[in-house]
């Protein structure tokens, strides 16, 4: 006969009377409208290299080009390096071709009547180094951080703010990176810091948590809204290259003027949803590299 202590009994569940009426929100927990993605499902943004298991993709690369994700984002990520490389190549070609074709179309529309006089190009003449940094560093990293990073399975209400900021800046002619360089980039950085700060604080400040939760719940119901909001903001931000003489005509023509960037943003958003944020950055950099190389060729021809 042993004298073992009795096995600890599992604690009885609290009775109904013991349960508080409503669990008070703890100060440091952030309400999560949807559970975080499974650790083996979606690697975090900073994980550039997926694990071997994640590199398998049973879909075909062609299926990843389907634009339906822009209407019904399904967040099915493909981590197959072969698919990513193939699709980025196809997307870059489509992207560049579309931007050129739609840019020509926009110029033709602007040439009609007095429409063009309402969009005076704001000319900048940066040095080659600054132009290279703008095209290959600022645009892919900055613009994609503001307009593609907030597109995610779990909505990020406050992270949409920097994208909205650059759209407002583009429309109002507020200092923009392409014209004012340092000042514009600094203001973009402030906008990103404010959005990110509010996003991080929403886990601690109750008012922000309430706003975040309410907007997130709405965004979960309409997942295509943040996608198209950011595509529109990205396009409107590029109005910075024009000084607009506002009129009804100007407002009606704006959708045509920004068509190339609507196209660019739509393709980059498909890539962001399918292949992740870094792939969208690479697509942006690849298209801008082609633009830069063409500029270099024309620059050299002008010297002859």
Farthest CA pair distance, the chain: 105
Q: Least distance in Å: CB of 8 to Zn ion?
A: 50
Q: Tell me the β-bridge partners of 243.
A: 120
Nearer to Zn ion among residue 80 and residue 232 (C-beta): 80
In the complex, what is the shortest distance from the CB of residue 54 to Zn ion, in angstroms, rounded to a whole number?
11
The site map against Zn ion for 121-160 (x = CB under 5 A) is ----------------------------------------
User: CB neighbours (10 Å) of residue 92?
Assistant: 20
Q: x/- binding map, residues 68-87, to Zn ion, per CB under 5 A?
A: ----------x-x--x----
Q: DSSP for 85-134?
A: HHHHHHHHHHHHHHHHHHHHHHHHHHTSTTTGGGEEE------HHHHHHI
279 binds Zn ion (CB under 5 A): no
To Zn ion, the closest distance from the beta carbon of 268 in angstroms equals: 18
Cα of 166 vs its chain's centroid, Å = 12
CB neighbours of residue 12 within 10 Å: 7
The 10 Å Cβ neighbour count of residue 31 is 13
Q: Are 153 and 37 in contact (CB under 8 A)?
A: yes
SS3 47: coil
Q: If binding means CB under 5 A, how many residues of this protein chain bind Zn ion? A: 5
Contact flags string 82-121 toward Zn ion, x per CB under 5 A: -x--------------------------------------
Assign residue 19 a region (left: φ > 0; alpha: ψ between -120 and 50; beta: otherwise): beta
Q: Measured from the CB of residue 60, what is the shortest distance to Zn ion in angstroms? A: 8
Report if residue 288 touches Zn ion, rule: CB under 5 A: no
In the complex, least distance from residue 30 CB atom to Zn ion, rounded to whole angstroms = 32
- Per CB under 5 A, the segment of 53-61, 126-134, 170-178, 229-237 that binds Zn ion is 53-61
Question: CB of 44: closest distance to Zn ion in angstroms?
Answer: 19
Q: Does the protein bind Zn ion through residue 274 (CB under 5 A)? A: no
State both tokens at 104.
Answer: 């020509």
Interface contacts to Zn ion, rule CB under 5 A: 57, 59, 78, 80, 83
């Amino acid at each position: 006969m042993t004298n073992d202590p009795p096995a600890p009994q599992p604690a009885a569940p609290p009775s109904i009377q013991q349960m508080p009426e409503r669990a008070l929100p703890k100060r440091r927990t952030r309400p999560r409208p949807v559970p975080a993605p499974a650790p083996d499902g979606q690697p975090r943004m900073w994980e550039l290299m997926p694990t071997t298991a994640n590199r398998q993709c049973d879909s075909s690369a062609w299926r990843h080009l389907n634009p339906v994700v822009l209407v019904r984002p399904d967040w099915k990520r493909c981590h197959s390096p072969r698919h990513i490389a193939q699709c980025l190549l196809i997307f870059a070609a489509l992207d560049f071709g579309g931007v050129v074709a739609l840019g020509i179309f926009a110029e033709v529309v602007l040439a009609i009547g007095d429409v063009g006089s309402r969009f005076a190009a704001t000319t900048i003449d940066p040095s080659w180094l600054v132009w290279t940094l703008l095209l290959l560093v600022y645009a892919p990293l900055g613009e994609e951080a503001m307009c593609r990073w907030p597109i995610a399975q779990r909505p990020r209400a406050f992270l949409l703010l920097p994208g909205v900021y650059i759209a407002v800046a583009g429309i109002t002619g507020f200092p923009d990176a392409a014209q004012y360089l340092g000042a514009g980039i600094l203001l973009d950085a402030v906008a990103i810091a404010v959005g990110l700060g509010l996003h991080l604080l929403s886990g601690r400040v109750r008012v922000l948590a309430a706003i975040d939760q309410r907007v997130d719940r709405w965004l979960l119901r309409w997942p295509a809204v943040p996608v198209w909001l950011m595509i529109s903001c990205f396009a409107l931000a590029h109005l910075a290259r024009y000084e607009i003489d506002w009129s009804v005509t100007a407002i009606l023509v704006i959708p045509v003027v920004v068509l190339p960037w609507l196209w660019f943003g739509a393709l980059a958003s498909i890539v962001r949803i399918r292949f992740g944020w870094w792939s969208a950055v690479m697509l942006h950099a690849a298209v801008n590299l082609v633009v830069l190389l063409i500029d270099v060729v024309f620059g050299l021809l002008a010297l002859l």
